[in-house]
Amino acid sequence: MNGATADGIRLSAQVNRVPSMRVALDAREEKRFRGLVEESVMMDLHEHPMVLPENTDDFVEYLRRGKYEWGYDAAKHGGWTVIATGNGFRGMVNSPELSYIAFNDLVDEVGMMIVDAGKRDDVLLVGRATDVTRAKQQGRVGLLPTVEHLAIGDVLHRVDVLYALGVRMAGLTYNLQSAAGSGLRARHDAGLSEFGNEVVRRMNDVGMAIDLSHAGFRTAMDAIERSRTPILFSHNAAYSLRPTWRTRRDEELLACAAKGGLVAITAVPNSLSDDPSQDIRCVLDHYDYMVKLVGVDHVAVGTDTLIGDHVGFHCKMLGSDRATLPAAYLDGLESPADGQNIIRGLITRGYSDDEVRKIVGGNALEFLRRVAG
């Protein structure tokens, strides 16, 4: 589980990489927690299960070699029934910006992950809602193949190729402009393009969920309006609580919920707090806000966690300035291994058992049933 190597590159520990808090409960709450763990389907709609090198300076070489370790042990330790896999890192061998990764690199990563998962008895590939139920019943980790960015260029049939590989959820854009639409950091948000309209239609037709987490405001609103099926923000938070370029406005969150969609809450370190000692409480604040805004039936989990040094990854691969990132990690949701802390945290915030079950996976299961079957 810990101290593995891949082609001589030492990898991060999947569990207990750094000290991470366990949300405290009293005796009565502990009993509730144990029952909820047994009863609940836990689904994280955006994780990155590729295990990162211990030294982030080794990351590009690790990606280049193409022999990857996947975080099944972290997922099991965190109690996840299903994780959506947020694939796309391999594309960073040839492009530092995920907006411009090559389709072939994306396909390579998804394919290698699926083959690896297929060799394991404790892992189940998930494509439909019935697979989620099966994963829970069999005590296996379900992998829902998902791509961070639908890197298809201007070739529509590549949606079908990804679907055939098993991809059931895809980010419509990343941060910059694509043939489909504008990302959150595009110079001008021109909204959904004509090609983007076709992409939305094709994703609806095949049963692939549309993720707008990195789409610009106009692009997101266009996609919500034109999609025939519910869409989601798989790893976001509320601009009203944390006004940054990565958080979402109430208007688009309400529009998403009105179409039956989901808003899943991120846990990226330094994205929700400037506290050098930030912990899961800043994440729980966004659950509270979102439930009040859109209703408990439209809130889900999308941690966007990594297995490795998340802050180091942001500095090395995304060009962030470490001086602007006060915390080394987010205590209590440092990695997928901390997943059950979400249940514990929601208990402390006063949610009922039914509400907890919905948020940690029930809503995501129903969403998958409506979109993918």
Is residue 323's pLDDT more than 90?
no
Model confidence at 131, in pLDDT bands (50, 70, 90)?
Answer: very high
pLDDT tens-place string over residues 13-22: 999 999 999 9
Is residue 196's pLDDT more than 90?
yes
299-301, strands of its sheet edge to edge: 123-125, 141-144, 82-84, 43-44, 299-301, 262-265, 232-236, 209-211, 169-171, 146-147
Average the pLDDT over 270-297 and give the result.
98
The mean pLDDT value of the chain amounts to 96
For 49, 149, 178, the CA distances from 187, given in Å and listed in that order, are 31, 18, 12
CA distance 78 to 80: 6
The predicted pLDDT at position 322 comes to: 84
CA distance 327 to 171: 27
Is residue 5's pLDDT more than 90?
no
Can you give the pTM of this predicted structure? 0.97
pLDDT tens-place string over residues 52-90: 999 999 999 999 999 999 999 999 999 999 999 999 999
Is residue 320's pLDDT more than 90?
no
Average the pLDDT over 39-47 and give the result.
98
Average the pLDDT over 208-221 and give the result.
98
Model confidence at 332, in pLDDT bands (50, 70, 90)?
Answer: very high
For 27, 60, 107, 317, the CA distances from 313, given in Å and listed in that order, are 39, 11, 22, 6
The predicted pLDDT at position 291 comes to: 98
Vertex 151 angle, CA 146 and 152, to 5°: 115
Domain spans of the chain, in order of start: 5-17+27-119+145-372
Is residue 2's pLDDT more than 70?
no
Question: DSSP for 168-206?
Answer: -EEES--SS--SS--BTT-SS---S-HHHHHHHHHHHHH
Q: How many CB atoms lie within 10 A of CB 204?
A: 17
Give the residue, 318 or 274, on which the prediction is more confident: 274
The predicted pLDDT at position 30 comes to: 98
Is residue 258's pLDDT more than 80?
yes
Using an 8 Å Cβ cutoff, are 305 and 269 in contact? no
Is residue 152's pLDDT more than 80?
yes
pLDDT tens-place string over residues 222-245: 999 999 999 999 999 999 999 999
Is residue 3's pLDDT more than 80?
no
Determine the residue type at 275: D
Q: Please name the CATH architecture into which domain 5-17+27-119+145-372 falls.
A: Alpha-Beta Barrel (3.20)
Average the pLDDT over 113-135 and give the result.
97
What percentage of the chain has pLDDT greater than the value 70?
99
The predicted pLDDT at position 45 comes to: 98
The predicted pLDDT at position 363 comes to: 98
